[in-house]
Amino acid sequence: MNLAMAGSQRRASFTGLYAFLVSVTMFFAAFTSAMVVRRGASDDWKGVPAPSLLWVNTGVLAVSSVLAEKARRVLRAGDRRRHFNLWWTGATLLGAMFVAGQIMVWRYLHRHGVYLNTTPGSAFFFVGTIAHAVHLGGGWLAMLYLNIRAFRLELGPGRRTAIDVATIYWHFLGILWLYLLWLFRFWGN
Amino acid sequence: MENPTAAKVHAPPGGFLRRYVFSTDHKVIGIQYYLLALFSVFLGMTLSALMRYHLVYPGEKQHLFQLLWPNGAPDGIMTPELYLSLMTMHGTIMVFFVLTTAPQSGFGNYFLPLQIGAPDMAFPVLNMLSFWTTLLSFLVLCSAFFADGGAPLGGWTAYPPLSATGAIAGPGMGTGMDLWIISIALFCVASLMGAINFLTTVLEMRAKGMSLMRMPLTCWGWFVTAVISLFAFAVLLTAGILLLLDRLGGTSFFLPAGLVISDRVLDHSGGSPLLWQHLFWFFGHPEVYIAILPGMGLVSTVLSVFSRKPVFGYKAMAYAMVAIGLLGFLVWGHHMFISGMSPYSAIAFSVLTLAIGVPSAIKTFNWLGTIWGGQLRLTTAMLFALGFVSVFVSGGLTGLFLGQPALDLYFHDTYFVVGHFHMIMGVASIFGIFAATFYWFPKVTGRMMSEPLGKIHFYCTFLGAYAIFIPMHFAGIAGNPRRYADFTQFDFLKDLASVHKFITHAALFTAVIQLLFLWNLFWSWRRGAKARENPWNATTLEWALPSPPPAHNFGINPPLVKRGPYDYSLPQGGKDFLMQHEGEEE
């Protein structure tokens, strides 16, 4: 494969990613506008009792993002594969921890009698957090796949592009989570 | 992870399944989309023929109805519920699986990489996934016919509250409606995958020298449509999920308090049916442009080729498409003028709606400018392109009436609206599809379609379309409501019975004529005259390849593009055109 082709593939991967991020943004923009309209449409709005675990999860996702970025930079700086594997594995594990933490939040709410259809606020909370988790699950599977490839010493130039793409997506999901947290915890309450 | 892009040139895959079924070749996927749309259009047309028949002979028993729908027509007479379910499925199939699928996913997949000199779409595997998700979506939708209670009754717009309450709202509103929503959600996912692919392909896969302003207008059409799809389908996906949760999860996004259906008070509270309308039409209006923009691009090309003249005002045509795409997102409220919105909002939506007339007029006048003084070759493709311009103007002008709140109050939910959107969205787009089929058939198959049969098909379809939809405008002006299964029960509509009879006869005639097209298509595929490599003397890159094109398109030597896409009427005599990769750098 010549350099021009590799460059073209890399650019296409990034453009495809940014287009995907636009569609995810529109999905959550529509979700937000529905929430704003629904809250204003009636006087039955009630927020969700957010457990402190949400803050822990937020921290976990933030650290995961930092580790992914660290791994990406290490790889770019040179062939320091052992360090890359360390940071990337850490990011992947923390990603799994975030999802596990979110499941614990949902179970906590269930134990306290808060279900999808309990209040309008709870409906939006469950839909928003589950939709975020589904998007995150996709990104996490990609990270896991790259992790396995990295351990097998199979990180060619194409997969390094994939690492860049996965990392940017991971950061995006982190920012999206901060936005959702603000939406539910502050505006929604 | 395999690299997702297609920059490396691929050899033809071996084996029937890899080559024709689970293929990642954009050309095979384009044909798969086209065939899906072809099946869908005949299914949708059959449903409309049955509806039209029932409308003018509402009391006549038909064994066929009873055979097909033992519950919907127990004594051979179509129940109003069955009529509404046919209407819903007709609208959904036509809008999503014909008008969205054929122009963009079908022709776009096949010809976008060829026209920009690319080896394939940017993400071939994603492309294949997109098709199979679309097919799954179609199968899920059709399974609603066989669900308990039958297909849903909610129309293609699926307005709550009735679409959100479950089986209590009528037969088909239980499982059938669930399947409808799941189908549309799947379609949204497939369309988003497709949009990402189209957008990336246009931006990153163009051959050397193929600047954006050297792309054929067809590529501009597909590009703008991809951008619109990216924004619009994501919103519909959100709306669909919320609607499904109102039905299955007990939430109240769209269901207000105190709702009484079939003498039962529902325990939902606080939701807003209007919320659905906002979300739906934020998708729904751009959907009109998703259906028609690829046709606009194709018609521009065909008019230029068969007038032997460059497109008049190429840049204005490209910018007009972008403007139509942008404005299309600002006018959704004109579908909701009677929803009780503030008159100030209505005026804003009205002004923006009328503003779309400006880029639309630019396109129309430039089409006329393109053919003005040209050496017209009235091939079937050219006739359908001219027909497109005709119905686009006819359908567009009636939109000016509906875009004004004061007039829309009267016209809303009448046959005026039915006539309008069928002309502008349905017939215009279908004419674009026909023009594209006749124009590109030699490239896809290496054979020519029959021109005499094509012309008979065109004239009958053109007259038939006007005979069906223009009288509907008059019925609407007379106050004829849409969605009624039987007009005979209303005195004020009895005078319109003969109009409806005429419409039905015209519809049945036009439907039968489409069999001629089907015959021409498949007969020519096997037996048509052999086509030259560039039978229309066209300038765009796909005609530089053999017909049908090889699996690897341009191979390892992509063309070097030296000029714009419409270099016709050259002054030096002899050949009156130069292909995009020929001659000196412009």
Residue pLDDT, tens place only, B383-406: 999 999 999 999 999 999 999 999
**Residue B478 CA from chain centroid, whole number:** 29
- For the stretch B436-451, pLDDT in tens is 999 999 999 999 999 9
CB contact under 8 A, B204 and A34: no
Q: Identify which of B204, B237, B278 has the shortest CB distance to residue A27.
A: B237
C-alpha–C-alpha distance, residues A129 and A116, integer Å: 11
Residue B288 has pLDDT above 80, yes or no: yes
ipTM field: 0.95
Q: What is the pLDDT of residue B7?
A: 45
Query: Does residue B370 surpass a pLDDT of 90?
Result: yes
In this structure, chain B runs to a length of: 586
Q: Helices then strands (H, E): number in chain A?
A: 5, 0
Contact: B1, A116; criterion CB under 8 Å? no
Tens of pLDDT, residues B126-161: 999 999 999 999 999 999 999 999 999 999 999 999
Confidence of residue B583 (pLDDT cuts 50, 70, 90): confident
A30 closest CB neighbour out of B238, B250, B272: B238
pLDDT at B8 > cutoff 80: no
Pick from B249, B257, B278: CB nearest A116: B249
Check CB contact under 8 Å for A23 and B195. yes
Residues B579, B568: Cα–Cα separation, whole Å: 9
Banded model confidence at residue B239, pLDDT cuts 50, 70, 90: very high
CA distance B354 to B331: 9
Per-domain boundaries in chain A: 3-187
Chain B partners within 8 Å of A33 (Cβ)? 278-279
A133 and B CB contact within 8 Å: no
**Cβ-nearest to B230 among A12, A23, A161:** A23
**Across B34-38, B245-249, B323-327, B580-584, least confident range:** B580-584
Give the residue numbers in B contacting A (CB under 8 Å), as ranges.
1, 3-5, 7-8, 122-123, 192, 195-197, 199-200, 203-205, 230-231, 233-235, 237-239, 241-242, 245, 249-253, 256-257, 269-272, 275, 278-279, 282
What pLDDT score does A157 carry?
Answer: 65
Contact check, Cβ <8 Å, B272/A12:
no
Res. B1: pLDDT tops 80: no
Q: What is the pLDDT of residue B450?
A: 98
User: Is-contact B322 B253, C-beta < 8 A?
Assistant: no
Confidence of residue B3 (pLDDT cuts 50, 70, 90): very low
**A chain contacts of residue B116, beta-carbon cutoff 8 Å:** none
User: d(Cα B447, Cα B522) in Å, to the nearest integer?
Assistant: 11
Residue B6: closest C-alpha in chain A: A9
Question: Is a pLDDT exceeding 80 seen at residue B6?
Answer: no
Task: With beta carbons less than 8 A apart as the criterion, state whether B81 and B170 touch.
Answer: yes
Mean pLDDT over residues B472-480, rounded?
Answer: 97
B403-418 burial: b if 16+ Cβ within 10 Å, else e: bbbeebeebbbbbbbb
Model-level pTM?
0.96
Interface test with A, best of B9, B197, B204, B278 (most A CBs within 10 A): B204
Residue of A nearest to B207 (CA): A8
More confidently predicted of B356 and B584? B356
B171: left (phi over 0), alpha (psi -120 to 50) or beta: beta
Percent pLDDT > 70 in chain B is 97
Which has the minimum average pLDDT: A138-152, B80-94, B183-197?
A: A138-152
Q: What is the pLDDT of residue A160?
A: 85
Side chain identity at B34, as an amino acid letter?
Answer: Y
Shortest Cα distance, chain B CAs vs residue A52, angstroms: 26
**Cβ <8 Å between B234 and A31:** no
The predicted structure's pLDDT at residue B352:
97
Averaged over B179-205, what is the pLDDT? 98
Q: What number of helices (H) and strands (E) belong to chain B?
A: 19, 2
| Residues A37, B278: C-beta atoms closer than 8 Å | yes
Measured between CA atoms, the residue of chain A closest to residue B192 is A23
Residues of B in Cβ contact (< 8 Å) with A43: 270
Instruction: Read off the pLDDT of residues B305-330 as tens digits, 9 standing for 90 and up.
Output: 999 999 999 999 999 999 999 999 99
In chain A, whose CA is at the least distance from the CA of B198? Answer: A16
Query: Which three-class secondary structure state does DSSP give residue B13?
Result: coil
Kindly list the domain boundaries of chain B, sorted by start residue: 27-544
What is the residue-wise DSSP string for B364-420?
HHHHHHHHTT------HHHHHHHHHHHHHHHHHHHHHHHTSHHHHHHHTTBHHHHHH
| A5·B8 Cβ contact <8 A | yes
Going by CATH, does the domain composed of B27-544 fall within 1.20.210.10?
yes
Does CATH place domain A3-187 in 3.40.1160.10?
no
Residue B299: closest CA among B283, B319, B321: B321
Residue ranges of chain A with per-residue pLDDT less than 50: 1
| 3-class DSSP assignment, residue A110 | helix
Mutation target for B interface from A3, A15, A124, A129: give the one with most B CBs within 10 A. A15
